[in-house]
Amino acid sequence: MIYSLLINILIVLLCPGMRYNVTIQETLAKTVQVEAVSMHDAKMAVSQLYRDSNIILSAEDYIDTEITVDYNRSYYKSPTGDFTLIQGDCVETLSKFKFGFDMVFADPPYFLSGGGISCQSGKVVCVDKGEWDKPTTPEEMDAFNLRWLSSVRDHMKENATIWISGTHHNIFSVQQQLLKLGFKILNVITWAKTNPPPNISCRYFTYSTEFIIWARKSQKVAHYFNYDLMKQLNEDKQMTDVWRLPAIAQWEKSCGKHPTQKPLGVLARLIQASSEPGAWILDPFSGSATTGIAANLLGRRYLGLEIEDEFLAMSKARRKEIENHQVRTDYLERLVKAKIILPPDNVFVADSSEYMYGVPWLL
């Protein structure tokens, strides 16, 4: 002890003093709540609040103001409360609340945006969808699918079912994780597109299918299946697991384009098959909220989780669009024509506000 003290004194006596530049970083933390449609707008609104209240911070008590936005807040809620969007990563968002959904539809990343090309409306286009869809390793894909499926499962009622769409890129990984988590696979639907884009390389068969796994949460608890309605919609023959339905049509893109938007027809069919009017439906990868639009057209309630500002804005516009009676009617008529929903029982009177379409959920 005495020895080390002597050494220290010697160092101080022998070495001249050194000058050090020390950076002190102070952060002023303050939480405020603002209403905004995007994270960028929220930051702008907060900056404006600072300017308006004339807050002047001197260098002594302020160095840096960090504005962070807690974006796990509701992004949009419809006036009737049957359509809610929350911005943020689905697993993180789900970890913040408890709720039991009746049905889930998930269209997760297929991990196929590796710079490939395809043909759309006669033009050669790149098939890349976005950063969220970039290819990954098989191990990472399994981990990703296990993580979100596990947190979604915790938010399903015991008799609830889940539908997950995919192609060969991701669907086998999804199936493996479902089994690990104790789901019971009920069907694997093959959606055979009646109008697939041509294969421009001419080195493969034309890709014309997607798969949709239908599974229930529990091995033992029975699920809901509207067998009779499906049969009725299929000219009174049992509906098979091959669905011949068209790819997305132009009329479904009235509020903008999402690179992997699903057709309303596919969603309307599976929602009717597996849920009753009034049911709560979750979509953890909401995109342009096709699931929510189909759910609301069919009298179900919806929660969509999505990261991207652009797609949330598009979803909100789509939801507002169907508040217009004429648009709503037009969409329902298209679904009737495509034999996705039953025709109305009563006579259609286009300009009457009394018009109910003959189904109670349109009241």
Ligand X SMILES: C[S@@+](CC[C@H](N)C(=O)[O-])C[C@H]1O[C@@H](n2cnc3c(N)ncnc32)[C@H](O)[C@@H]1O
Minimum Å gap between C-beta 361 and ligand X is 21
Is the Cβ of residue 289 or residue 332 nearer to ligand X in the bound state? 289
What's the min distance (Å) between Cβ of 307 and ligand X?
4
Nearest-angstrom CA–CA distance, 200 and 358:
46
List contacts with ligand X (CB under 6 A): 89-90, 107, 109, 132, 258, 260-262, 285, 287-288, 290, 305-308, 311
DSSP string, 13-41: HHSPP---------EE--------SSHHH
Contact call for residues 164 and 174 (beta carbons, < 8 A):
yes
For the bound state, the minimum distance from the C-beta of residue 68 to ligand X, rounded and expressed in Å, comes to: 19
CB of residue 311 to ligand X, shortest distance in Å: 5
Contact assessment for residue 115 and residue 294, using Cβ atoms and an 8 Å cutoff: no
- Contact by Cβ (8 Å): 161, 187: no
Rounded to whole angstroms, how far apart are CA atoms 265 and 279?
19
Instruction: List Cα–Cα distances, 355 to 60, 258, 263, 332, in angstroms.
Output: 68, 32, 26, 13
The nearer residue to ligand X, 36 or 247, going by C-beta atoms, is 247
Question: What are the structure tokens assigned to 228, written together?
Answer: 């009779």
**Complex with ligand X: residue 163 or 357, whichever CB lies closer:** 163
Smaller CB distance to ligand X: residue 275 or 357? 275
Closest contact distance (angstroms) between CB of 224 and ligand X is: 22
Nearer to ligand X, 338 or 359 (CB): 338
Record the tokens describing residue 16, joined without a space.
């001249």
Facing residues of 77 across strands? 84
The residue at minimum Cβ distance from ligand X is 287
Query: Among residues 168 and 231, whose Cβ is nearest to ligand X?
Result: 168
Q: With 0-12 CB in 10 A as exposed, 13-18 as middle and 19+ as buried, what is 154?
A: middle
Q: Please report how close the Cβ of residue 5 comes to ligand X at its closest, in angstroms.
A: 58
DSSP code, position 245: E
